[in-house]
Every structure is written in structure tokens, then in C-alpha cells.
Structure 1
Amino acid sequence: MYNSRIVGLGKYLPDNVVTNDDLSKMMDTNDEWIQERTGIKERRWIKEGTEDTSAVMGAKAARIAIERAGLTKDDIDFIVFATLSPDYYFPGCGVQIQDMLEMPTVGALDIRNQCTGFVYAVAVADQFIKTGMYKNVLVIGAEYHSGGLEKSTRGRNVSVIFGDGAGAAVMTREEDNSKGVLSSHLHSEGKYAEELIVAGPSIKHWVPEILEANDPDDTSYYPYMNGTFVFKHAVVRFSEAIVEGLKTNNLQKEDIDMLIPHQANLRISQFIQRKFGLRDDQVYNNIQKYGNTTAASVIIALTEAWEEGKIKEGDNVVLAAFGSGFTWGSVIINW
């Protein structure tokens, strides 16, 4: 059985920077209020009239990752695309990537695990490679949040958090079982699904109802989050997933060279950092610049940490995420 390893990374962020002061012109909020609760200073939102969508941004990041891997589009055997904001209700973005990159008719799979999406996607790709079914798998996380946010005082608790962006990784076969993805750990607890949710549109709340109702008080189409409840669960599950991964590989917290947490809230990341006694240079955060980009956040942060030389060969890298579902998980990598 093979291991898998990441050999190419890429990211794409829209040019349009939206600061906290910009948001204060749309809703009753301010820079101090947002930074105190989330750590976010600015985010990227797709500007109206541009070509960017989740799939388009994913394709842009993918081209960079494939080139950095020293491969071509024809070398990719399979596509895994993680997002909660697909271009269409169906089909998924994975097949759009196959078309946009003019790839052979390879398989494409969409992952709908929200903030944990990229961690799940890496685990899925790893299994395809481990079994020998595929050699090179393209994994993408991309989100277009800004088009679905309620940009008003009523929606501010959610709208100030989220940003748009995409990241991509090329994973390939690794014959040295001490290198690459060592293990992945995935969990869910669906009884809390409604604590972080977009309730509509859905099969239960479908197009005729939308068209007929035209109800300005219907908020089911906007994200809802029970923030305090989510925070309390996140800090527990983040820790559990990291500990589980370390124990599986006979590692101690002192063996972590780089932790890449999902960029949900800077306060969550700081809590986890303190709990594990990690230095600032052992944890990578960029939520200050980009907000929460959900399935794209871990891969964007991983790409930036690698670009900045903060991840080196032989480093123990931990990816961890928690989000809607609830879902959570971790991936342990020897780089």
C-alpha cells in the first residue's frame, strides 16, 4: 500500500478587498467590534461583473498547483472539489474543473462538508492513492460566500466573518510510508446540524415557494449560526481531532512543526495554540486578511505557509478543522 503526499500547492483570492470600515457603511458595526470577536481585519469579496465563481477560482488555483507539481493537466487522474457554495445546485464544481482545465474525461467528486471540506477531501484523495486506484489527484477547496450573505445589520453576526477564495493541492503516490499523509481522522455529529445552517433552498423549501412567497422576513436562504454554541464545541473537537492524530502516529504535541487550523475565528485558533503550548511560529493564521473561507481556508493557509518557507521537508504538519454538520477532523502529514 502506498502513501500519498502533496507535491503542488496553489491559491487564488479575488482582488476586491473589503475592510471592516467598508462593512460599517452597510450595517451597524465597526472595526473594533469585528476584530474583538473574530480577529478579522479584512476579507476578499468577488466584485459584481467579474468572471469569478467557486469553480472559476478553483480552476485558477488548480493551474498553479499543477504547474508547481511539475505535472500537466493530462497527468491528473481524479478531481476532488470541496465547497458549500457550488456554482449550481447541481451539477457540482468538480465536473466544471474537468471542462475548464480541458482535462481528459477523469472522474470528479464533490465534497459537501463545509468548513471541514478540505480535510475530508484530502482524506478521500489519500485513500484513492493508497489503494493504487489513482496516482495523481487534484484536490480543491473554493468558496463564493459573498453572493449569499445578508449584508445588513440583521445579518452582521455572520456576514462579517466570511470571505471568498480558493486553494488547490496535487497529491501523488509516495512509496516511503514514513512520508506524506500519515493518517486522517473524520467525525460528525448531525444532531447539531441546525446550529450552523442554510435551511433553504432545499427540496423542502423549493423554487415555487421562493417565487410565490417573496417574503422579506424569510431568512432561511441566509447562513444562520449559533455562534457561542459553535465556539464551545469547536474548541473541544479541534483538540480531540489533533490529539487523536498525534496518538495514532506516536507523536507528542512537541512534535508538531506546523498546525494549520481552519480559519473559523482567530480566538479559536489562539485557544488551541495555548492549550497545546505552541509558539506563534508553529501555528499559521491568515483569517485577519481573508476572513473565513470555509472549505478553502485550510488549503489557502497551507499554501501561504509553504510559500513563506514555514514548512520544510520532514516537518510534521497538522491540518485540523471543525464546522457545520457538525463535522470535524484532522490530517497528520510528514512533509
Structure 2
Amino acid sequence: MYNSKISGLGFYVPDNIVTNDDLSKVIDTNDEWIQERTGIKERRHIIRGEDNTTGMGVKAARIAIERAGVAYEDIDFIVFATLSPDYYFPGPGVSVQKELGLKTVGALDIRNQCSGFVYGISVADQYIKTGMYSNILVIGSEVHSVGLDMTTRGRGVSVIFGDGAGAAVLSREEDHMKGILSTHLHSEGAHAEELFLDAPGMGSRWVTDIIADNDPEDESYYPHMNGQFVFKNAVVRFTEVINEGLLANNLSVSDINMLIPHQANLRISQFIQRKFQLDDSQVYNNIQQYGNTTAASIPIALTEAWEKGKIKSGDLVVLAAFGSGFTWGSVIIRW
């Protein structure tokens, strides 16, 4: 049995910065309203024709692979987490294999939204621990901006989300006291429709229905979120799954050097920070600059924290996510 470790990290965000003031020109909102509710000051939106989900993932992946010090031919599996693939099918994992010129390795696409990267890390970790693979590329990449309702009707959701990608290379680690110590995954489908996108979907409104109706008031193809309900569940599940990971490894909150929560809402992260009595040096947030980038948020934040020297060898790093599904999970890492 091996352990797995994160051997390389990288992220990419589009150059196009969209501030709260920019949004106020097309939506009845303002900087104060957005910051008070979410903590977000700006986010990145792609420029069509310049970036897409696969392309951003590839850019992040190239950085991660270079930092991992492994050759492209040494990558033997791909895990790609996204809710915004370039095609309805196939998923972007195979496009990454093509764009990076990798050998015909397996490519797995994960649809666990905000928890997607945590789920992806868990899958990759198990493949490495069983000895099946040696170096696995895990990507989280999202393009939200082209699918949001950029009107006042949709402001409760549309001001939150941004575009971007993050990537990690997981490699074998022979020291069982280092690397990924454990992962913990959960779901509760009873609340699926509290944060979801209805159409297109085989069970409701398919593309042919939307085209046939041509109804400008149809909201089924825009994301729906019951914000207060999501918030209340998120703070409970974040707390539970972080404690679960610590307990599984005989650790306590005082052992945490860095918590990287999914960047869903700064108010959620601040609530969790207060609940665990962590200081600002123990929690990393960057939602203020990037918004909620769903599956990309944790790898972007993790990469930034590492680049800034906030994560050092021997540190206990905790990743935690909660999102649509509902799904949630945590990863406990000895760096």
C-alpha cells in the first residue's frame, strides 16, 4: 500500500475582471449589497472564443505537471470535475488527454459540483493507494458566466459565480505519515432541488422543448438556489465533515495549520472559522477576488495559499466542501 501526495499544483483564471460595479450596470444591484451577502468584490468571466472549460483546465494542468516534476508520459490517469463541460457529452477528461498529448490513459469525469474536486481527490487517492496508478491529474474547471441569468431576476445567483480552473497532480508517497491521510464523502439527495439546474434534462425539459416553446420567461435553464436553506445546511455539514476527518486521524482542531474551504460564500467560511476558533492565518479565502468557481474553487485557493508560502512541509491541511446534491466531503493532508 502507498499513500498519495499532492506533488504539483496550478491554477488559471481569465484576464477579464468583472467588478460588482460592472454588474450594477446590467443588474439592479450594487457593491455594498453583494459584499454584505457574499463577501465578493469581483470575479473573472471568460471572453467567448478565448477560454472554455477544457482549455482553462489544460492551462492549470500544465503548471501543476511542471511543478510536480513528472513527464507528461508519466501521467497515467485523469480525473476532471466540472458542472459546465464544453459538450453535453463527452466530458472534458478526454479533451484534456488530447490537448496534453497524453498516451491513451483513462479519463474520468465527475459531476459533484462544488464538492467535485474533493470527490476527485478521493478517487485519485484510492487508485494510488491500491497501486493501480502512480501519477494522477485531478482538475476542477468551470465556466459559469455564459449560463447565468444576467438580469435583476437572477441576481441572487448570478453575482456569486465566476470562471476559472485549478489542477493537482497526485503521486505515490511511501511515507504513510505524509500525504493524504484520509478522505470523507457524503450526499443527501433529498435536497437536490434546493440548488439545481432543471433543464436541459431528460426528466423534465429537454432541448427540443425549450426550442419549441421559445419562451423568454422560462427560468428552467438558469440555476436555482434556495440561498438561506443552502447556508443553514452548509455550516452544519462543513462542521461535521471536518470533525469526522480529524477524529479518523486522532487529530484535534488545534492541529490544523491550514483550512481551505470551498469558496461558496465568505459568510459561510467566516462562520466555520469562528466555530472552530481558527485565526486568519489558519484559513484561506479568495472568494473576494474570484467569486464561487464551484469545482475549481478549492484547487485555486489551495494553489494560491501554497504559492504565498502559507502551507509548509509538515503542515496539517484540511480541504472541505459542500454544494449541490447535496454533497459534501473533506480531505485531511499532512503536507
TM range (shorter): over 0.9
Deviation at 1:210, TM superposition (A): 1.5
Find the counterpart in structure 2 of residue 261 from structure 1.
261
TM-score, normalised to structure 2's length?
Answer: 0.99
* Alignment partners' CA distance in 2, 1:192 and 1:207: 25
Deviation larger for 220-229 or 201-210: 201-210
2:217 partner SS: coil
The letter of the residue matching 1:277 is Q
Q: Per-residue displacement from partner, 1:272-292 (whole Å, max 9, x unpaired)?
A: 000001010000000000000
In the alignment, the residues of structure 1 paired with residue 46 and residue 80 of structure 2 have an alpha-carbon distance, to the nearest angstrom, of: 19
Which residue identity lines up with residue 85 of structure 1 in the other structure? S
**1:154 Cα shift?**
0.2
Q: Which amino acid in the other structure matches residue 43 of structure 1? A: R
TM-score, structure 1 as length reference:
0.99
State the one-letter code of the partner of 1:212.
A
Identity of aligned residues (%): 74
1:47 Cα deviation after fit: 1.4
* Structure 2 residue matching 1:220: 3-state secondary structure: coil
Distance 1:178 1:49 in 2: 45
Distance 1:8 1:147 in 2: 30
Aligned to 1:103: 102
Offset of 1:208 from its aligned partner?
1.5
Match of 1:287 in 2: 287
**Could you list the runs of 5+ residues in structure 1 that have no partner in the other structure?**
none
The alpha-carbon deviation at position 237 of structure 1 amounts to 0.2
Paired amino acid for 2:79: V
Q: Distance in 2 between matches of 1:284 and 1:321?
A: 13
Stretches of structure 2 lacking an aligned partner (at least 5 in a row): none
Deviating beyond 4 angstroms after TM superposition, the runs of 4 or more aligned structure 1 residues are none
Q: Match of 1:98, SS? A: helix
Distance 2:118 2:132 in 1: 20
SS of 1:217's partner is coil
Cross-structure match for 1:3: 3
**1-side partners of 2:49 and 2:22: how far apart?**
19
Equivalent AA in structure 1 for residue 89 of structure 2: F
Amino acid paired to 1:30: N
* CA distance in 1: counterparts of 2:48 and 2:2, whole angstroms: 45
Tell me, yes or no, if structure 1 residue 251 matches structure 2 residue 251: yes
Residue in 2 that maps onto 1:220 = 220
Q: Secondary structure at the match of 2:233?
A: helix
Residue in 1 that maps onto 2:182: 183
- Partners in 1 of 2:208 and 2:274 — Cα distance? 50
Deviations 1:168-211 (A, max 9, x none): 00000111110000000000000000000000011132121121
Paired residue secondary structure (1:215): coil
1:67 aligns with 2:58: no
Aligned to 1:196: 195
Please say if 1:129 is aligned against 2:128.
yes
1:14 aligns with: 14
The alignment status of 1:309 with 2:309, answered yes or no, reads yes
- Aligned partner of residue 309 in structure 2, secondary structure: coil
Which deviations, in whole Å up to 9, do the C-alpha atoms of 1:93-151 show, x marking residues without a partner?
A: 10000000011000000010000000000000000000000000000000000010000
Residue 48 of structure 1, CA deviation:
2.7
- Residue 44 of structure 2 is matched in structure 1 by 44
